[in-house]
A = this chain, B = another copy of it.
Amino acid sequence: MIGGKLEKNNNLEKLAKLVRYFILVSTTKAGSGHPSSSLSAVELMTDLLFGGFFKFNINDPSYINNDRLVFSKGHASPLLYSLWAAAGVITEEEILTLRKFGSRLEGHPTPVFPYTEASTGSLGQGLSIGVGISLNAKYIDKLPYKTYVLLGDSEMTEGSQWEAIQIAEYYKLDNLICILDVNRLGQRGQTMYGWDIEAYEKRISSFGWETVTIDGHDFKEISSAYRHALQVKGKPTMIIAKTIKGKGVSSIENKDGWHGKALPADKLDEALADIGDIDKNITKSIAEPDKCDASSGEIKDYDVTAINTDSMSTRKAYGIALVNIFKKFPDIVVLDAEVSNSTYAEIFKEKFPDRYFEMYIAEQNMIGTALGLASRGKIPFVSTFAAFLTRAFDQIRMSGYSNTNIKFVGSHAGVSIGEDGPSQMGLEDIAMFRAQLNSVVIYPSDAISTEKLVEKAAAHYGNVYIRTTRMDTPVIYDSSEDFEIGGSKTLRVSENDKATVCAAGITLHEALKAYDELKKENISIRVIDVYSVKPVDREAIAKAQEETGAIITVEDHFAEGGLGEAVKSVASEKSPVYMLAVRKIPRSGKPYELLDFEEISSKAIIGKVKEILAK
């Protein structure tokens, strides 16, 4: 039997005191932080970690069969650190570095502290991450580890939670156990449902989850809930715990105005007195996980599909590429938000259905799930329309702080999608993905470069965005061509070039058309395929500025944050940079009507070149 014994409970109570002690001294020393939000979940987490439920090799935090604990309420980081201090992996000296520059113990958890699963602190993201970690255990690695997620009550108003709740039931994630810390108070007052734990139970159970309601400060009830959750089959469990914010410190218990505030130094002694004697030498141990092997992930050899065609959409080439590279990258997992027949993720799904997860129209959860999968060593490729990736910008942003490895694929980029109109046009996706530290942004123009760059993306550790185009485009590269992240291709060059056009994706073909037209008039231009929008090929641009003077960028994207600004950001003052981009509200219409309307077609390029020559 695990947990629940009287002796163990006595120990747990002592451990809870020690955890509270660490929470209080560390936050008071830091002068900021969230002690009250940490104190409400002390019993819930102490019982989980030290009651025999949580199985984790503390000397090997990355061990494949460790249970996983995601702090979705990331502001309770003092609790997270205090638990690991109680477990002995953080010294008392270190816990006093909380929130100091250079400390592993940041204000909200980040993977700088290796017992953190993912950066949290933007609320409503941890449950999706837990879904990804659980999916990995149940369907990919086929390991018995459990995933625990500590949730705050305030964050339950985030829609992303309900996306995750739906998907967790859909995939029958009985290895996912969530703990909802209903401490009633949000940042500025009572939450929507206050202490009405039945309101949570009704809603969550309506989505097919197992629910248990408990007093979150009663070890007997807590242990019983964990024991129950570990036996539930076929569905995830939510333990809904009524708790008291600030529990254990009488001056702040259940009081408004104490969110995100450390106790001042002169109140610390009184608070510590409330907690009572602590025993720093108490025996505490976290249970060991069973030794297991992950499912091998080996795949039978299969034939790849060579792209030998005159014309193909880059989105279709993406689907083919996924299949072709899977044998080389068996950690690939493919997710799509109910548009796999448009993004062509379905080509992979049809060939490897076990490695494809339908995420339905819930982009936030899709990205969170991908982050969870990546945290377990997978290489998730997630796709939807480029426009709809904006739905998950907060998750994308946060993933950048998790040192993760997600490949984002946005199809239907730009006005060139045509009749469906602006709601479906990705026109800000490059800006979004560029504005992330260390991100890579790839925008291929033909099927061959797409295939090559999808492979480069898989091989590159880190977040990569690949932008694909709806319509078929001519294949312009030979299959022997190499492409590098950070590279470019100078496709037209002569000693007599009057200007350089930098383009990528659909507009590259417009640039090539403009080249042909201008050639007839004996005007030479240089054409560069800037397929790597970030990092952008600074040298090629410098060379072109040196040799041809003016640069013209042309992109099927808004003018702000896109290809033009990427090029101009590295351009020197040697020559001017002119930016052709989408600057008018797009309408429904035929693709080429819209390229003309937005002045990003060959016609606009020719006009700009002639304008420059006339100067």
Using a CB–CB cutoff of 8 Å, the interface residues on chain A facing chain B are: 30, 32-33, 74, 99-103, 105-108, 110, 112, 119-124, 154-155, 157-163, 166, 170, 186-188, 191-192, 202-203, 205-207, 338-342, 346, 360-365, 387-388, 390-391, 393-394, 396-398, 400-401, 419-424, 427-428, 431-432, 434-438, 534, 558-562, 564-566, 568-569, 572-577, 579, 582-585, 587-590, 593-594, 597
**Residues of chain B with a CB closer than 8 A to A401's CB:** 422-423, 585
Tally of this chain's copies: 2
* Minimum Cβ distance to chain B for residue A345 (Å): 10
Contact assessment for A163 and B170 in the assembled complex, using a CB-CB cutoff below 8 Å: no
> Can you add 11 more A-B contacts, CB < 8 Å, to A101-B593, A106-B587?
A103-B588, A106-B421, A121-B420, A122-B387, A124-B361, A157-B338, A157-B361, A158-B362, A159-B161, A398-B423, A400-B585
The answer for the CA separation of A400 and B361 in the assembled complex, in Å, is: 22
Given contacts A108-B420, A422-B110, A422-B401, contact A569 B575 (CB under 8 A): no
Write out the residue numbers on chain B whose beta carbons fall within 8 Å of the beta carbon of A188.
338-342, 346
Return 24 A-B CB contacts under 8 Å, by A number.
A99-B588, A100-B589, A101-B588, A106-B421, A108-B424, A119-B423, A120-B423, A121-B423, A122-B423, A157-B361, A158-B361, A158-B391, A159-B162, A187-B338, A187-B342, A191-B360, A203-B207, A390-B397, A393-B432, A397-B428, A401-B422, A428-B436, A559-B569, A565-B565
Among A122, A437, A560, residue most surrounded by chain B Cβ atoms (within 10 Å): A560
Q: Which of the listed residues A120, A161, A421, A569 has the most CB atoms from chain B within 10 Å of its own CB?
A: A421
- Bound together, the chains give a CA A597 to CA B101 distance in angstroms of 10
Determine if B162 and A361 form an interchain contact, defined as CB atoms under 8 angstroms apart.
no
Structural contact, A434 and B361, CB atoms closer than 8 A: no
Cβ of A565 and Cβ of B569 under 8 Å apart? yes
Interface centre among A100, A394, A559 (most CB of B within 10 A): A394
**A107 in contact with B170 (CB, 8 Å):** no
In whole angstroms, what is the CA distance A590 to B32 when docked?
Answer: 11
Q: How far is the CA of A166 from the CA of B165 in the complex (A)?
A: 15
Query: In the bound complex, do residue A106 and residue B588 qualify as a contact, i.e. CB atoms below 8 Å apart?
Result: yes
Do B421 and A108 touch across chains, with their CB atoms under 8 A apart?
A: yes
Residues of B contacting A191 in the complex (Cβ-Cβ under 8 angstroms):
360
Which 10 pairs across A and B sit closest by C-beta, in order of nearness?
Answer: A159-B159, A121-B423, A101-B589, A561-B561, A206-B206, A162-B162, A431-B435, A428-B435, A434-B560, A107-B421
Across-interface contacts of A559 in B (CB, < 8 A): 569
Contact status A107-B420, CB under 8 Å: yes
Known contacts A192-B360, A207-B203, A589-B102: A436-B394 contact under CB 8 Å? no
* A584 pairs with B157, CB closer than 8 A: no
Instruction: Decide if A101 touches B159 in the complex (CB within 8 Å).
Output: no
Q: Contact: A101 with B561, CB < 8 Å?
A: no
Partner of A163, one of B107, B108, B157: B157
User: Which residues on B sit within 8 Å (CB–CB) of A577?
Assistant: 573
CB neighbours (8 Å) of A397 from chain B are 387, 390, 428
Please tell me if the beta carbons of B583 and A437 are within 8 angstroms of each other in the complex. Answer: yes
Q: Which residues of B sit under 8 angstroms from A400, Cβ to Cβ?
A: 585
Shortest distance from the beta carbon of A157 to any chain B beta carbon, whole Å: 4
Name the CB-closest residue of B to A594: B101
In the complex, A155 Cα to B159 Cα: how many Å? 12
Q: Which residues of B contact A427 (CB under 8 A)?
A: 435
Nearest B residue to A208 via CB reads B199
Q: Is the CB of B558 within 8 A of A435?
A: yes
Residue among B122, B362, B387, B421 making CB contact with A110, cutoff 8 Å? B421
What separation, in Å, do the CA atoms of A587 and B95 have in the docked complex? 16
Closest to A124 in B: B361
**Which B residues are CB-close (under 8 A) to A593?**
101
Q: How far, in Å, is A516 (CB) from chain B's closest CB?
A: 25
Measured between beta carbons, the chain B residues less than 8 angstroms from A360 are: 154, 157, 186, 191-192
CB nearest to A391 among chain B residues: B394
Query: CB within 8 A of A561: which of B112, B435, B594?
Result: B435
Q: How far is the CB of A31 from chain B (nearest CB, A)?
A: 8
Would B170 and A192 count as touching, CB distance under 8 A? Answer: yes
| Chain B, residue nearest A155 (CB) | B361
Q: CA A362 – CA B163 in complex, angstroms? A: 13
Tell me the bound Cα distance from A123 to B420 in angstroms: 14
Q: Which of A74, A397, A568 has the most CB of B within 10 A?
A: A397
Contact A588 B419 (CB under 8 A): no
Shortest distance between the CB of A425 and any CB in chain B (Å): 10
